[in-house]
Amino acid sequence: MKLIKEILKEYGADVLKSFTIIPNFGGYFCSVKSVIEYTPQKIILSQNKKIIKIHGENLSILEYFQQDMLILGNFSGVEIE
């Protein structure tokens, strides 16, 4: 995922945070333990002690490697529990 991190940095993302959202593109999530729910409108992730709910349209998991996940789609909201 080193290449993806470099691309995200070019878009102005801070890849040292637990997640970064890039408008009209998607998001990059670190420390993802598991996927709880996965639909084109909602993805729910388990991250250490947090649950992250991503809402939007045309959501898809593009890459998942060593607990780093790249999700593409039009995000309408992100909730952290």
> In this predicted model, what pLDDT tens digit does every residue of 53-63 receive, in sequence order?
999 999 999 99
> In this predicted model, what pLDDT tens digit does every residue of 2-31 receive, in sequence order?
666 676 667 665 555 678 888 888 998 988
Quick one: pLDDT at residue 61?
Answer: 96
Q: Extract the runs of DSSP E, i.e. beta strands, from the chain.
A: 19-22, 26-29, 32-38, 42-47, 50-65, 68-80
Domains and CATH numbers, the chain: 2-80 (2.60.40.2000)
Quick one: pLDDT at residue 17?
Answer: 63
Query: Are the CB atoms for 37 and 44 separated by under 8 Å?
Result: yes
The reported pTM is 0.78
CA end-to-end distance (rounded Å), the chain: 26
Quick one: pLDDT at residue 49?
Answer: 84
